[in-house]
Amino acid sequence: MIPFTYYSPTRFIFGNGSVCKVGQQAKAYGATNVLVVYGSFHAERSGLLKKVVDSLALEGIKVLTLGGVKANPVDSLVYKGVQVCKENHIDFILALGGGSVIDTAKGIAMGALDDGELWDFYSRKRMPQKALPVAVVLTIPAAGSEGSGNSVLTQESTLLKRSATGECIRPRFSILDPELTFSLPLYQTACGIVDMMAHIFERYFTKVTSVDLTDEMCEGVLRSIIKAGSTIRDYWNNPNSVEMKEARASLMWAGTVAHVDILGVGREGDWSVHALEHEMSALYDVAHGAGLAITYPHWMRYQMKFKQERFDQLAERVFGVKDGMEGIQKLSDFWTSLGMPTRLSQIPGFKESDIFVMAKKAKRNRPGELGNFHPLNDDQVVEVYRSMI
């Protein structure tokens, strides 16, 4: 184990119907003038947005709303939100949605208290020191942003997808109401499953030794996600079954556990697959989870040549097979059974020449080799991308 500081002060409020507590919670955290950030019109049509706004209003909290966040969120909407905050003396940001909405809300929260160039925080020129308080009502278990101090945005002008990090953007509280996920389409559910598993893999693939405790926890959570995901797939036509509802609940908490870093302490993660995928979803606007489903098995097969032992352990403990390569295949088969793609050629608009564009961008602002587990040089990055075609 390597030295670490673990600090996770977010208050997680979990349970069916817990969305109704959002007003009391926001008030308890001192909110008086809230901007609710959300994504699709689903929030409006389903009545969820109204339920949240009413709960806030009931506590005498003033509310403005900002919709329109899309998957792979861009900086332009953040600038719009920052302007709304500054013009209306907003003192609290509530994200109502999944990772894209939460990351947009975090960007707005930083920009609202900053007079410099917001992108500096994403290009790592500056570290954010202050932000408006952010809270979350989660609707998609996937990104783990409800418990993290990170925000990932794409800069529209460059199509660079980058992340900003700071304690000040860690959500004050996050409401995890499994009922809000009962109507989530299979494709989005699957993308979330891949995303949360990827967050564990990024931590699992480390060159740090003596990490048995966190290995055991990572492997246990992976097994549980696979069980819940399989149940959701198998009970798809019984959305009201106890099995389905319990699997949805388990998956919702798993997504938070996967990224709150209790699985990553004392070890150095790899994170190269996220770097490879970010450029993919920035270029094609493919869902992050779908991009990860393409990238991970190919990255694993490539890395297996260099570090077989870790893949054999994963295969045996998580997939119940002895051989690492067989384990990788079982992982890929599981994701395929949920409707996830396996190759770049399945992405509309993909051209082989784009590989060099993505490889160049994945390496930009990252000196040296990519990743920590078994770092990739420029040629190897291209080789891994090529294996995904």
Would you say 3 or 60 has its CB closer to a copy of itself? 3
The residue within the footprint of a copy of itself, chosen from 195, 219, 270, 277 (CB under 8 A), is 219
Residue 68 in the binding site for a copy of itself (CB under 8 A): no
Element (DSSP H or E) covering residue 188: helix 186-204
CA–CA distance, 298 with 295 (Å, rounded to integer): 6
Q: How many residues bind a copy of itself (CB under 8 A)?
A: 40
Q: What is the DSSP letter of 74?
A: B
Both structure tokens of 40: 């699709």
Binding mask 257-286 for a copy of itself (x = CB under 8 A): x----x--xx--------------------
Would you say 158 or 224 has its CB closer to a copy of itself? 224
CB of 217 to a copy of itself, least distance (A): 5
Is the distance from CB of 97 to CB of 39 less than 8 angstroms?
Answer: yes
Is the distance from CB of 74 to CB of 155 less than 8 angstroms?
Answer: yes
Nearest Cα to 388, choosing from 360, 347, 348?
347
The residue within the footprint of a copy of itself, chosen from 79, 182, 187, 253 (CB under 8 A), is 253
Would you say 51 or 223 has its CB closer to a copy of itself? 223
CB of 245 to a copy of itself, least distance (A): 9
Q: H helices of 260-369, where?
A: 272-284, 288-304, 308-319, 324-337, 354-363
CB of 264 to a copy of itself, least distance (A): 12
Nearest Cα to 295, choosing from 211, 214, 371, 216?
371
Residue with structure tokens 């990788």?
328
Q: Which stretch binds a copy of itself (CB under 8 A): 14-22, 49-57, 151-159, 268-276?
A: 14-22
CB of 12 to a copy of itself, least distance (A): 4
Nearest Cα to 86, choosing from 124, 66, 113?
113
Site residues (vs a copy of itself, CB under 8 A): 1-16, 18, 209-210, 212-213, 216-217, 219-221, 223-224, 227-228, 242, 246, 249-250, 253-254, 257, 262, 265-266
